[in-house]
Amino acid sequence: MILLVDDYEHACEFYEKNFGFKKIFDQSTSVGQRFLHVGDENGMGIWFLKADSQVQNQRVGNQTGEQPLMVIYTTDIAQLLHRLKNNKVQIKNDIVQTPEYKFFHCLDLYGNEIVVVELIQN
């Protein structure tokens, strides 16, 4: 997934601090272009691209037409929700539980909606 950002470091810090993502690849070219890719232990990855035009700047935080940007899976949704609340991440709803899964929605630092899911093992 590609995510437009206005600041590489802030975006990287947000996803590392809140979701445990780690840098997978971080390289800058001789012309100043930077390639920063972060991901989690499940293979979920985000390639950050710095918005560098008026159109791209308008899309930061609204790349998906008001639909969620991504789904992040966890094995302990209550613990993750607690961490996000402690880090003052905006939570859109409390945990919803079905027989198959639990989920909640939150927003990243740009206002992109993220769905957090824990699958229930039967």
Taken in order of first residue, the domains within the chain and their CATH numbers are 2-119 (3.10.180.10)
- pLDDT, greater one: 45 or 115: 115
Question: How is residue 68 written in tokens?
Answer: 């969620």
- The whole-model pTM stands at 0.89
Q: DSSP for 58-114, please give it.
A: HHTT-SSTTS--EEEE-S-HHHHHHHHHHTTPPB-S--EE-SSEEEEEEE-TTS-EE
Identify whether the C-beta of residue 63 lies closer than 8 Å to the C-beta of residue 3. Answer: yes
- Kindly report, residue by residue over 82-120, the tens digit of the pLDDT: 999 999 999 999 999 999 999 999 999 999 999 999 999
Mean of per-residue pLDDT scores for the chain: 93
DSSP 121: P
